[in-house]
Amino acid sequence: MNTIGKMMTPSRVLVFGFAAVILFGALLLTLPQATLNGMGLPFLNAAFTATSAVCVTGLVVVDTATTFTQFGQCVILLLIQVGGLGFMTFATLFAMILGRRITLKERLLLQEALNQVSVQGIVRLAKSVLQISFTIEAIGALILTLRWSSDFGWSKALYYGIFHSISAFNNAGFDLFGNFSSLTAYVGDPFVNITIMLLIICGGLGFIVLADLLTFRKKFRLHTKIVLQVSAALILIGAVVIFLMEYTNPMTLGPLPFGTKVLAAFFQSVSPRTAGFNTINLAGMYDTTLLSMIVLMFIGASPGSTGGGIKTTTFIAIFLSVLSTYRSDPHVVLGGRTLPKDVIQKAWAITSSAVVLIFVIISILSLTERVDFLTILFEVTSAFGTVGLTLGITPMLTDVGKMAIILTMFIGRVGPLTLAFVLSQKKNKKAHIKYPDEKILIG
């Protein structure tokens, strides 16, 4: 038992914990009560749906609105909430409700789950995460309920408001509008679009940034400044590219009024940051636009958020590292501060691992699925970035394809975080041995 305890490091506990939540959710979705046909989902489809919910992705092999009962939809919603905020954050909530003391081991797990460098103040941070999340979700649900009350009546509007607010804040992308339509019926609705976009952005900034913003500090920490600047730049650049490329496309922005075009362009730029909602037909987009969205999906949200991807800070660290190499500058400088070498190494390791994973999964799907390469690249990047956008192939995936995407979503949710934590640990004594230098030819 001692050996098992030593082997179960915080990172391993989190990986197995996420897997256990997915398995539990999948079993619930196979129950007859979960589906409208009274037969339950086949296990592979249930596992796919549960993984997509826990990993806050949004890719679906069956339509959420027309397949599941309210019980099944509530199971999915609970999985989204647990997956977005982290099961250790919820375990802390229950411990506090029961008045139980948080042990050191649990604090270490929280440190890993929230991607922090120290256990100091970690319980206070977990409380803040819960308070901030529930408050933002409640505000979003209220606005959406008021908007949809005239369309559906108060009870259905409240249910839809809560579901879509939680789904948007946690960057999940699940919707209840049926026929895989997402939010296309509301492409020109400013209330729905702006509310959903703000929920996505808040969920994707990261809890550290949100806490920093809500304290109204005169001087933000460097992490907060960089996340805000990079996020704003990516959203703006993405919106401009989508607007210009799709302006006359009869399948997307072409038929829309000018104001709706601007709104739709911004929505489609925000959504690839790991949210998964869409208000226009993505399959009708030009290839160049899809490639720009793939880049946004690959970068994803920010550290400590409900989103996926390699993260904004990883992207900017690599970008500045490349610039420093071009300038023959040994130091990577960001915001008047030098980034440590181990931070740059982790950024490259995370990105390299992501590229290798995507390459392997694309290779598998190229053999199993009868679709073009760009469609597969879009699907796999969406799964890795826990985005949930698709060009329509998800429901048609083969069993092997479904298992490959399940693995991609799972690694996309826990892999980069776990890798960053493992790489930050103290190395053993052998790792401190310094061997003689010798150069090899590069490039």
End-to-end, the C-alpha distance of the chain in Å comes to 50
Banded pLDDT at 106 (limits 50, 70, 90): low
Predicted TM-score (pTM) of the model is 0.89
Rounded alpha-carbon distances, angstroms, from residue 417 to 206, 209, 303, 352, 423: 13, 17, 8, 14, 10
Query: What are the tokens at 344?
Result: 């740059």
Question: pLDDT, tens digit, for every residue of 365-376?
Answer: 999 998 999 999
Q: How far apart are CA 152 and CA 155, in angstroms?
A: 8
Q: 433-436 — which CB contacts under 8 Å span 24+ positions?
A: none
The pLDDT assigned to 220 comes to 81
Question: In which element (H, E) is residue 193 found?
Answer: helix 190-205
Nearest to 81 by CA among 10, 174, 212: 174
Q: Is 196's pLDDT higher than 60?
A: yes
Nearest to 186 by CA among 160, 206, 208, 162: 160
Residue type, 427: K
Query: What are the tokens at 229?
Result: 């600047």
Question: pLDDT, tens digit, for every residue of 144-166?
Answer: 999 999 989 999 999 999 999 99
Question: In which element (H, E) is residue 338 found?
Answer: strand 337-338
Average pLDDT over residues 323-341: 87
Query: What are the tokens at 93?
Result: 């909530």
Q: How far apart are CA 194 and CA 29, in angstroms?
A: 32
Banded pLDDT at 115 (limits 50, 70, 90): low
Question: pLDDT, tens digit, for every residue of 15-73?
Answer: 788 889 999 999 999 999 999 999 999 999 999 999 999 998 989 999 999 999 999 99
Q: Is 428's pLDDT higher than 60?
A: no
Average pLDDT over residues 419-433: 51
Average pLDDT over residues 422-442: 62
